[in-house]
Structure 1
Amino acid sequence: MTDIHSLRDDFPILDKSLNGQPLCYLDSAATAQKPNKVIDVIKTFYQAENSNVHRGLHTLSKNATNRYEAARETIAKFLNVSAKEIVWTSGATESLNFLAHGLSQALNENSKIAISPFEHHANIVPWQEACKRTGAQLLVLPMLENGVLDEAGAISLLQTHKPDILSIGHVSNALGNIHPIESLIKACKTLGTKTVIDGAQSFMHLRPDLVALDCDFYVFSAHKALGPTGVGGLYGRYNLLNTLPVYKTGGEMIQEVTFAHSTYRDAPGKFEPGTPNISGVIGLAAAVDYLNNISPSALQRYERALYQSLLQQLNQIKGVTVYGDTQNNVGIVSFNYKNEHHYDLATLLNTYGVAVRSGHHCAQPLMNMLNVNGTVRASLAFYNNEADVEHFINALKATIELLD
């Protein structure tokens, strides 16, 4: 079994200094760092393998096509689905826009779409636009006062309103909460509600089995899971994918074109026009290959222990308020200190080499419900260690002394 402590050595950026201090990277919820394996694969592609896919008969093109489609198989196996159910996109945001566009074709003024209070703007705004186009109503699931989804209330709302679509994040990017999506999906099955799961934060940390989850759609971004930026995708049940209209048009996704009309390929090709992010897809496959060499249970135990250590030490600092579900969490601590502005805290932490995120985390409605204008967010990954936690806590104490 791989020693998780040794994996840190695979990430070259973690040896970097920041402002004369060792880099303490606690912003993995924004983007995960990349191991040498991913960096090397992308570099090698451009140095020795670069070619377009699907169109050429020459050796470079055939090899690129084989690697590109093998990557689809890799991601499909990781999620326990069929390769023909994986559509490449630029990331979770485009995937959600694609689904909001496609699924809204069947909506009207009597339709309803449900989301949770915890959603990233990318899982709010596309559905708002769908409601504008169709006259559908947007529903918001209830939240408990402690910043946790009201599971019983959410199921009751679903059963009462019977929405056409439920779109919800598996994990809150702002708070780290792991939502009880299994029970929500189960409830939706009895109602005929289509389920869309935003897996941007869960793809790496939780490695969901989509057959077990039984959702209809699941979206993800490579850069949240050790892969490159600008690429990601979505899973959709094959029969449902083929009912969706085309989202973008161009070359490659067509079956036949005349000046009178065009016909399109079946999924997934139907939704992949133009030259794709070939190196990005190959880089994502390398990231998943890397993750496949780590025991999922060992990774989750390690991240959980590190999170509990960080949380315990943070809670010992008088004046700190932590938000969200600290029992079911992927390793994100979202907090404030007294009335100090989160921006000031993050700016001063940066002088100690600590990289955290501050602000509303693209979740302004959630921040409003929590009665704050933002938080400081420290997010962990398996390449962090106790030294990072100690560095962060010491830097935060020093920052507080400056502010008090």
Structure 2
Amino acid sequence: MASSISGTTSFDIQRIREDFPILKRKVNGHPLVYFDNAATSQTPGVVIDAIVDYYSRYNANIHRGVHTLSQEATDAYEKARIKLQQHFNAARPYEMIFTSGTTHGINLVASGFASFLEKGDEIIVSAMEHHSNIVPWQMLCEKTGAVLRVIPMNEAGELVVEEYEGMLSDRTRLVFCNHISNALGTVNPIERIIAAAHKAGAAVLIDGAQACPHIRPDVQALDVDFYVASAHKMCGPTGVGVLYGKESWLEKLPPYQGGGEMIEEVTFEKTTYAGLPHKFEAGTPNICGGIAFGAAVDYLNGIGFDAIAAYEHKLLEYATRRLLEIEGLRIYGTSEHKTSVISFNLEGIHPYDVGTIVDKLGIAVRTGHHCAQPVMDYYRIPGTVRASFAFYNTIEEVDVLVEAVKKAKLMLS
């Protein structure tokens, strides 16, 4: 089976694994099996090298200095912005705003829309959102008097899009949806969601945190107004992300934070703001993180997202089949359109207990509600065990997981 999967891709899995130093370590005396990629992916050597290179050779603040190190850092940082523009196919580099991550980007947009909403306006989110795409909108509704409405989901973990289309009205101002569910792996029909929202005159923000490790979004083809992502789920460092926004929207939104860099002129009587993208990038940014984010995007594109998707789909199919061989195991999220995430439970056993035992065997999985508590409430469960696969995982590692889950069931039943 392992050889047949490798044969369907254009990359050598063993060579790829050599790019990730952490995959050589042991955990609790066992070779590390890392299946928590939906939370944070691992980092290849080329990205680590980019971080070391920055701090070793040209660590300096950007945009403000005439000295050589500052100019070199500025050039590297802005080149990373262009890499992101090209990766997401944005029309202009300044439509890519560096953030601290997906949550920061969502809050930036939510803060800006507080200026536009009135009592009775409606905001629509989906039932399978991460908390970071629920709480900011609840706060916005409390502040403005807007009403939060929810797209329902079905037992397979799919959004009921027909009901969503019926919810849209001339009061709808904003629609927010994840591209891929972090809790279930469901790939949502965002093209249809965006088109329907625009027909109703509403703006759309797509949370791409879970999608971007697996696919390459084209923001112009999607015609999306805002799209957010995090580097740490794309083989990059933590603490950096990106917000794409259409220029027309970014020009309308007020600044999210005040401080250095985002100003044009400051007097005690009045301050004028800088143009895009600096209007939304107050203070000293995560310079090294932005540069390393660019290196991570280069690395992923060097492998190729078609190859990544094909390989991960085979892993998903194999893991699904093997896990379902275990009596009493239920998988949550059975949409035909899903990515390499499997959330499951063993009948009568708490997911935390399963996660603890498989950790003793060197396997990293995530347990709990995955910051998607409404999803767990829908299924009437406290949480799940979530195994999430990346292109550097192997069939043999899936077999190790299956045997570990069998052992956990035997010990805990």
TM-score (norm 1): 0.98
Q: 1:287 aligns with which of 286, 296, 321?
A: 296
- CA deviations over 1:136-162 (Å, ceiling 9, x no partner): 00000011122221122222222x575
What does residue 88 of structure 1 align with? 98
Say if 1:358 and 1:241 are closer, same or farther in 2 by CA, change over 3 A: same
Counterpart residue identity of residue 293, structure 1:
G
Three-state SS of the structure 2 residue aligned to 1:164 is strand
Query: 1:402 and 1:92 mapped to 2: Cα distance?
Result: 39
- The answer to whether residue 136 in structure 2 is matched with residue 126 in structure 1 is yes
Change (3 A) 1:5 1:305: farther
Q: Secondary structure at the match of 2:345?
A: strand
Q: Matches of residues 104-143 of structure 1 in structure 2 within 5 Å?
A: 104-143=114-153
Q: Distance in 2 between matches of 1:355 and 1:249?
A: 40
| Amino acid of the structure 1 residue aligned with 2:131 | H
Matched, 1:270 2:246: no
Whether 1:373 and 2:382 are equivalent positions in the alignment is: yes
CA distance in 1, matches of 2:80, 2:388: 28
Aligned to 2:309: 300
Task: Find the partner of 2:190 among 164, 181, 184.
Answer: 181
2:238 is aligned, of 215, 229, 245, to: 229
Question: For the Cα contact (< 8 Å) 1:216–1:236, is it kept in 2?
Answer: yes
In structure 2, what residue type is equivalent to 1:321?
R
2:336 maps to a residue whose letter is Q
Other-structure match for 2:4 = none
Distance in 2, matches of 1:115 and 1:71, equals 31
Matched, 1:144 2:148: no
Question: Deviation per CA, 1:314-340, whole angstroms, max 9, x where unpaired?
Answer: 111110010013421110000100010
- In the other structure, the counterpart of 1:67 is 76
Q: Quick check: 1:58 aligned with 2:67?
A: yes
| 1:311 and 2:320 matched | yes
Secondary structure class of the residue paired with 1:274: coil
User: Is 1:157 the counterpart of 2:155 in the alignment?
Assistant: no
Which sections of structure 1, spanning at least 5 residues, go unmatched? none
Q: Is the 8 A contact 2:331 2:345 kept in 1?
A: yes
Opposite residue 69 of structure 1, the aligned amino acid is: E
Amino acid across the alignment from 1:266:
G
- Matches of 1:6 and 1:326 in 2, distance apart? 32
* 1:288 maps to amino acid: V
- Secondary structure of 2:206 counterpart: strand
State the secondary structure of the residue aligned to 1:378. Answer: strand
Q: 1:309–1:2: structure 2 CA closer, same or farther, 3 Å change rule?
A: closer
From 177, 184, 189, the counterpart of 1:168: 177
Alignment of 1:229-248 (within 5 A): 229-248=238-257
How much has 1:135 moved relative to structure 2?
A: 0.3
Hey, what does 2:3 align to over in structure 1?
none
- Superposition deviation, residue 3 in structure 1: 3.0
Instruction: Give 1:5 shift.
Output: 4.6
**Equivalent-residue separation in structure 2 for 1:7 and 1:242 (angstroms):** 42
Q: For 2:171 and 2:403, how far apart are their aligned partners in 1?
A: 50
1:385 to 394, 397, 400: 394
Give the alignment of 1:320-359 within 5 angstroms: 320-359=329-368
Residue number in structure 2 paired with 1:249 = 258
What is the distance in 1 between the residues matched to 2:14 and 2:208? 26
Residue of structure 2 aligned with 1:45, choices 39, 54, 61 = 54
Question: Aligned equivalents of 2:159 and 2:112: distance in 1?
Answer: 28
Q: Is the 8 A contact 1:219 1:233 kept in 2?
A: yes
- Residue type at the aligned position of 2:354: L
CA-based RMSD = 1.1
Task: Report how far residue 183 of structure 1 moved.
Answer: 0.5
Deviation readout 1:350-387 (Å, 9 max, x if unpaired): 01101000001001111111111100000000010111
TM-superposed deviation, 1:11 = 0.5
Would the aligned equivalents of 1:2 and 1:293 in 2 still touch at CA under 8 Å?
no
Q: Which position in structure 1 is the counterpart of 2:109?
A: 99
CA contact (8 A) 1:253 1:265 kept: yes
Q: Post-superposition shift, 1:260? A: 0.4
- 1:148-200 Cα shifts (integer Å, max 9, x gaps): 21122222222x57511001100111111110111011111111110000000
Q: Percent identity?
A: 47
